[in-house]
Structures are given as structure tokens and as C-alpha cells.
Amino acid sequence: MQRTKEFSDPAILGNAEHAFARDKVFAIARVIQELVAVTPAELTSLAALNQIQANLQAPLGELTSFLSNKNSGHFVNAATQFEQNIMPLLWGFLPKTQSLSVKSLSALLESQTESSRNAINQLLAQQADLSAKLTELTTKADTQVSRFEALTEGAAKERAEAAATVAKLEQSFAEKETTRVAAFDAAIGEFAKQFSEFKEKSLGESNRLIQKIEDQRVQATQLVQVVGNIGVTGNYQQIANKESVEANFWRWATVSIFAAGIAVAIATFVKFWGQPFNAENAGSVVIRLLYAIAITAPAWYTARESARHRTNSDRARQTELELASIGPFIELMPEDKKVEIRQHLTSVYFGKGVEAHVVNNPLDPTAVKDMAIELAKAFKK
């Protein structure tokens, strides 16, 4: 292990403590080797040899670790372990007064010399390598200095040219800027003038457009109102027409029934006109008159139905007329007055109950009156 070049590293020689520990480890190991060789087996303690063998594993591990990580502190640990654990066991070699041979001391000195020679050879090799690298670095440094001086001169020249170019550009820019400012001010003035004319023209057109829109809004309001009136009054108009048709139907039904009854009564009078009224024909006369009354009895109902439908028709037409004329009627009134009138008409037109249909006595004076009126209207037509 001592011949390995790692143990001759010049870095170890640069640290006196590490170099001393290294030499001490190898010197003690060589002394033990010599003692084992020169001491008779009968004068050697087997127990001491076993302990020396066991304690040599620790410093051997330190030296192996140095070969892997190049940490010189392992020499100090190995030397300490030799002093503490191995040197006290040298009593196992007898006799103690025995001196080492000149040959062992020469071998010890020769090993130390070989280690020093190896370290010196490595230093010389590293010196030559460092000299070559220093020469190369000096050449490169000179080259870089020359290049730097050339770059400095070129930069100075380029700076001068750039300064001249910038001055020229600044002068040209100042001239162009003056021209641009004048053109810009003229363009702004022209634009302001055109904008003022456009503004006045736009305001006039906007006012005319607003007035036109206002006129169309008024027309649309009136149109919407008319459409609303038509939509509202159209149903009343349909109801009035329908009720009028129903009233005419029941009117003609009443006239037809009365005509049939009157015809039966006239036929009875014509038949018995020239005959005296006695007990023999009294029954026939009474029966025929009862037939006439029975035939005309439904006329009371039809006459009432005609009057009811006529009343509904007149009411619907009146409502249609009022709803159609309410808009134009209140158009010129103030807005709050319009609202008040509409609120009042809402309670008038909406929320009313439906009249109940009551079956009255046919001999009721009102019913007789209605029937007479309907008959009179029918005969007039």
C-alpha cells in the first residue's frame, strides 16, 4: 500500500501533521514486520499477536478510506490507533532489549526515501504541466490584450461615427419636426373648421329628425289608441249584432204564434157567426177558443225573450259608442283628468253582475206590455 502513488501525493507533504502521521504508520508497520521476522516463535506471545492482528484492521480501514476519498485526516486516525492499540502490545516480542537489525533500519529509511522520491517526481511532473499551462495562458492573455486593444480602438471609432450620425439625425429630425408641426397645426385647424360645420349641420338634421320622430310618435299613439278602441269595442259590436238577430228571431216567433192563435179564433167566429149561441154549439166555441188561447200562450215567452235580447243589443251598442268616443272626447283634457275619467269608467264597465233570468207570470202587466210593444214593432215592419 505504501508504494501506491496516492500516498506520495505532494498535497500530503504540504501538511506536516499528515505527512508525519503517514510516515509513522508505515514505520511502525515495518517495525512490527521486522519483529515478527526476527523474534523466535517460542519467545512470542500468541495472545499479543492475536490482539495486534485484530487492532490492525482499524488503521487498515482508515488507509483504505483514504484511497477512496483522498482525505488526509485518515492518516491521523490511523497513527492514533497504532499508538493507542498496537504499540502497547509490542511486549509480545521477547526479549525487549533486542535491537533491530541494521538491515531493518535500512529498509525503513529506504521506504521513506522512496516515498519522498515519488512525491518529488510527482511535483516535477506537476511543475512541468503547470509551466506549460502558464505559458499557454500567457499567450492567450497576450492575444486577448491585443484583441481588447483592437476592440477598444474600433469601439472608439464607432462611437465617434455614431455620435456624428446621431447629430445628423437630430438635425434632420428637428427640420422634419418643424415641417410636421406646421402641417399638423394646419390639419387640426381645417379639421376643427370641418367639425364645426358638421356639428351645425348635424344639429339641424337632428332637430328635424327629432321633430319627425315626435310627429310619428303622436301618430303612433293615436293609431294605437284607435286600434285599442277597435279591439275593445269590436266585441261589443259583435254582441250587439248577435243580440239583435236573436231579438228579431224571437219577435217573428211571437208574431207567428199570435197569428196562428188569431187565425184559430177568426175561424171559430166565422164558423159560428151566423148561428145563435146556445147549449149545443157553446162547447165547440169554448173548445176552439181554448185552442186559440193555448196556441198563443207561448207567445208570452217568445215576446219576453225578444225584449230581453233587444235590451242586451241596445246596451252593447251604447257601450260600443261610449268606448269608441271616449278617446277623442278626453284627448284635449289634462293628463290627470284623463286618468281620473278612465278610473271612473273602469268601475262602470267592469265588475258588474249578470242579471238573473226570472220566469214571470204570463199575465204579468209588464210582460203583457212587452209583448204588445214587440207586436207593434213587428207589425210596423
Q: The CATH number of the domain where 376 resides is what?
A: 1.20.1050
Mean pLDDT, all residues of the chain: 76
Q: Is pLDDT of 317 > 70?
A: yes
Q: Is residue 15 part of a domain?
A: yes
* Residue 123 placed within a domain: no
* Reported confidence tier of residue 359, pLDDT bands at 50, 70, 90: very low
- Domain shared by 373 and 228, yes or no: yes
Residue 367: band (very low, low, confident or very high) from pLDDT cuts 50, 70, 90: low
> Is residue 352 included in any domain, yes or no?
yes
Is a pLDDT exceeding 70 seen at residue 352?
no
CA–CA distance, 376 with 381 (Å, rounded to integer) = 9
Q: Do 95 and 238 sit in the same domain of this protein?
A: no
**pLDDT tens digits, one per residue of 96-117:** 544 555 565 566 556 666 666 6
pLDDT for 95 beyond 70: no
- Same domain as 368, residue 226: yes
Number of domains forming the structure of the chain: 2
pLDDT tens-digit series, residues 246-259: 878 877 877 777 77
- Take residue 69 and report the three cell numbers written for it: 476519498
Does some domain include residue 108?
no
106 inside domain = no
Q: What is the DSSP letter of 278?
A: -
Say yes or no: 95 and 221 in one domain: no
Task: Flag whether pLDDT at 84 surpasses 80.
Answer: yes
Where does a domain end: 69, 100, 131? 100
Q: Which of 244, 259, 240 is nearest to 379 (CA)?
A: 259
Does a structural domain hold residue 170?
Answer: no
Domain containing 31 equals: 5-100
In whole angstroms, what is the distance from residue 324 CA to residue 226 CA? 8
Q: Are residues 370 and 227 in the same domain?
A: yes
pLDDT tens-digit map of 113-141:
666 667 666 766 777 788 888 888 888 88
Encode pLDDT of 223-233 as tens digits. Answer: 555 555 555 56
Q: Is the pLDDT of residue 290 over 70?
A: no
The answer as to whether 26 is a domain residue is: yes
Q: What is the spatial distance between Cα 328 and Cα 225, in angstroms, rounded to a whole number?
A: 10
Residues 237 and 363 placed together within one structural domain of the fold:
yes
Is 144 inside any structural domain? Answer: no
More confident residue, 6 or 365: 6
Question: Which of 43, 68, 100 is the last residue in one of the domains?
Answer: 100
- pLDDT for 12 beyond 90: no
DSSP secondary structure string, 241-267?
Answer: HHHHHHHHHHHHHHHHHHHHHHHHHHH
Reply yes or no on whether the pLDDT at 15 is more than 60: yes
Domain closes at, from 82, 100, 118: 100
